[in-house]
Structure 1
Amino acid sequence: MKAYVFPGQGAQFVGMGKDLYDNSPLAKDLFEKANTILGFRITDLMFEGTDEDLKQTKVTQPAIFLHSVILAKVMGADFQPQMVAGHSLGEFSALVAAGAMSFDDGLKLVSQRALAMQKACEAEPSTMAAIVGLDDAVVEEVCAAIPEVVVAANYNCPGQLVISGSIAGVDKACTLLTEKGAKRALKLAVGGAFHSPLMEPARAELASAIQATQINEPVCPVYQNVTATPFTNPADIKQNLVAQLTAPVKWTQTVQNMIADGATLFTEVGPGSVLQGLVKKVDRNAQTAGISKLA
């Protein structure tokens, strides 16, 4: 079975999508439509901007979404998913690619999500850290014992978990987890505590926008981050999208469930190859491929 997976924040690079724009009339139309919807020329920042330009959350999230979704659209009949999933932001790309949301609605939601998350980051200084080389249960236990806000945020693959929370909470957790034997406890260069309770203002802000968006039944099951299980019912999909901002990304469990349900090839659609690497770390026998530009 063909599984398509869609990357999240951090996969961006300057020049992303330019070959699509230059070589596909459909892609060019969709990129120009995106410029109009967003109210600024995101294509200029994607194709010729700086790394700093692309690191702005309001740019990063729509840019990665556009690269992934437009690639899937340009693939046309070659894009025949039997199951899809996306990492955090990538879940929106997966939903649009699978026909659950229109291109316009997906882009508007991603833009609103980025701005709401940025606002939540600015309201309370917070951060994230990657913890390598410990069992998930040990990380969860240490975080739960700290009186500050700090939680498991991204279950990326066995032995690699990202924590999220207040600066004091994450610092304390990094110290304790290093003492517990973590190979690395590395703070990430991010603007805030994504997928933690500190994103509650963003979740509340985005909830009404998601509820007001038309969601259709996708062409195949969408494995959503919050539960790592497949959904096709529009009401369930909406509920999970709202919960996603403050809940952890269960990527390890998602990949395990997709394999258990028959996935034989994981194709990453969009910038970078991070998800291919994570899939291999979940199951070294899994077949992976990547599509980041026109063949």
Structure 2
Amino acid sequence: MKHAYVFPGQGAQSVGMGKDLYENVPEAKALFEQANEILGFRITDIMFAGTDEELKQTKVTQPAVFLHSVILAKALGVKPDAVAGHSLGEFSALVVAGALSFEDGLRLVSKRALAMQAACEQQPGTMAAVLGLEDAVVERICDETEGTVVAANYNCPGQLVISGAVEAVETACVKAKEAGAKRALRLPVGGAFHSPLMEPAKVELAKAIAEAPFRTPACPIYQNVDAKAYTDPEQIKANLIAQLTAPVRWTYIVKNMLADGVDEFTELGPGTVLQGLVKKVSTEVAVESKATL
């Protein structure tokens, strides 16, 4: 039996996340306080008692989701046979697998969040979920649409998120509906994540990743860019840099994990999004979500 731990990305956050860990586990409280020092502001105040709007800011959301996932994994003492994370969640996966220290992982996530927020302000963009079409049909629609619009998140069969310039995304949504999509709707996000519009953030993050000390993980990590399993630190770094402008191939990550013998999945962190996506890839596999001990 192989047990995979998977980690959610931006969008899974909710006010109150991680509060029980802080209050009941002394080691968890120490890590949260260390995070407050590293970030230079009390992210715990926003996580535990802030408003949805405060928590939705990219510079807050990304470190918050990372902290909840990683500190929960440490409190549980997990020993995964394989790991993966959705977008931001890939950093959580790397820390849990031992490829990055908690401190270095948090610093990289914070830099990534700030760089992505700056890129969003520099080149406004958006994302949209397209439901009920084959991946190849959505890819063709993106290719045939004028302007920047690309397939960004291959979430599960029949659910693909597109990303790019606002006008191009809206045009692609109209074409998707004409092609028979059940739904094609804009998502409440502040930018065109996993599209060419994130290039400025990619350039900035590449420097930080290149300088960070990566180690060989204790188990394979299935990475977003090509859904394949990696243990080589240099390859992991290259894939992590490419991830910002490349699509998240979640459907194929799950399929590859299943093919490699994974028969149990546990989602660690806020929300239950990944649990649902895994079940849509395979109804047979055992899946659970954990947001607390």
TM norm. shorter chain > 0.5? yes
Q: Equivalents in 1 of 2:280, 2:107: separation in Å?
A: 34
Q: Equivalents in 2 of 1:201, 1:192: separation in Å?
A: 13
State the match for 1:230 in structure 2: 229
Unaligned runs of 5+ in 1: none
Aligned-pair CA distance for 1:242: 0.3
Structure 1 residue identity aligned to 2:220:
P
Aligned-pair CA distance for 1:191: 0.4
Q: Is 1:36 aligned with 2:37?
A: yes
Q: Is 1:112 aligned with 2:111?
A: yes
Unaligned runs of 5+ in 2: none
Aligned-pair CA distance for 1:36: 0.1
Structure 2 residue identity aligned to 1:61:
Q
State the match for 2:25 in structure 1: 24
Aligned-pair CA distance for 1:121: 0.3
Q: Equivalents in 2 of 1:170, 1:147: separation in Å?
A: 10
Instruction: Identify which range, 33-42 or 284-293, moves more after superposition.
Output: 284-293
Aligned-pair CA distance for 1:98: 0.5
State the match for 1:169 in structure 2: 168
State the match for 2:291 in structure 1: 292
Per-residue CA deviations over 1:209-253 (Å, capped at 9, x if unaligned) read 000000000010000000100000000000000000000000000
Q: Aligned to 2:73, what secondary structure does the other structure show?
A: helix
Aligned-pair identity (%): 68
Aligned-pair CA distance for 1:80: 1.2
Q: Equivalents in 2 of 1:34, 1:209: separation in Å?
A: 18
Q: Is 1:262 aligned with 2:251?
A: no
Q: Aligned to 2:130, what secondary structure does the other structure show?
A: strand
Aligned-pair CA distance for 1:147: 1.9
Q: Is 1:206 aligned with 2:205?
A: yes
Q: Equivalents in 2 of 1:160, 1:144: separation in Å?
A: 18
Q: How many aligned residue pairs are there? A: 292
State the match for 1:126 in structure 2: 125
State the match for 1:95 in structure 2: 94
Q: Is 1:5 aligned with 2:2?
A: no
Aligned-pair CA distance for 1:290: 1.5
State the match for 2:48 in structure 1: 47
Q: Equivalents in 2 of 1:80, 1:69: separation in Å?
A: 13
Structure 1 residue identity aligned to 2:123:
E
Q: Equivalents in 1 of 2:288, 2:218: separation in Å?
A: 21
Aligned-pair CA distance for 1:148: 0.5
Q: Aligned to 1:164, what secondary structure does the other structure show?
A: strand
Per-residue CA deviations over 1:126-158 (Å, capped at 9, x if unaligned) read 100000000000000010011200000000000
Q: Aligned to 1:12, what secondary structure does the other structure show?
A: coil
Q: Equivalents in 1 of 2:133, 2:290: separation in Å?
A: 32
State the match for 1:84 in structure 2: 83
Q: Equivalents in 2 of 1:221, 1:211: separation in Å?
A: 20
State the match for 1:244 in structure 2: 243
When normalised by structure 1's length, the TM-score is: 0.99
Q: Aligned to 2:262, what secondary structure does the other structure show?
A: coil
State the match for 1:216 in structure 2: 215
Q: Equivalents in 2 of 1:210, 1:221: separation in Å?
A: 19
Q: Aligned to 1:239, what secondary structure does the other structure show?
A: helix
State the match for 1:145 in structure 2: 144
Aligned-pair CA distance for 1:200: 0.2
Q: Equivalents in 2 of 1:125, 1:74: separation in Å?
A: 39
Q: Equivalents in 2 of 1:267, 1:225: separation in Å?
A: 18
Aligned-pair CA distance for 1:113: 0.2
Aligned-pair CA distance for 1:75: 1.1
Aligned-pair CA distance for 1:125: 1.3
Per-residue CA deviations over 1:88-122 (Å, capped at 9, x if unaligned) read 00000000011000000000000000000000000
Structure 2 residue identity aligned to 1:63:
A
Q: Equivalents in 1 of 2:171, 2:189: separation in Å?
A: 18
Q: Equivalents in 1 of 2:175, 2:290: separation in Å?
A: 40
Aligned-pair CA distance for 1:181: 0.3
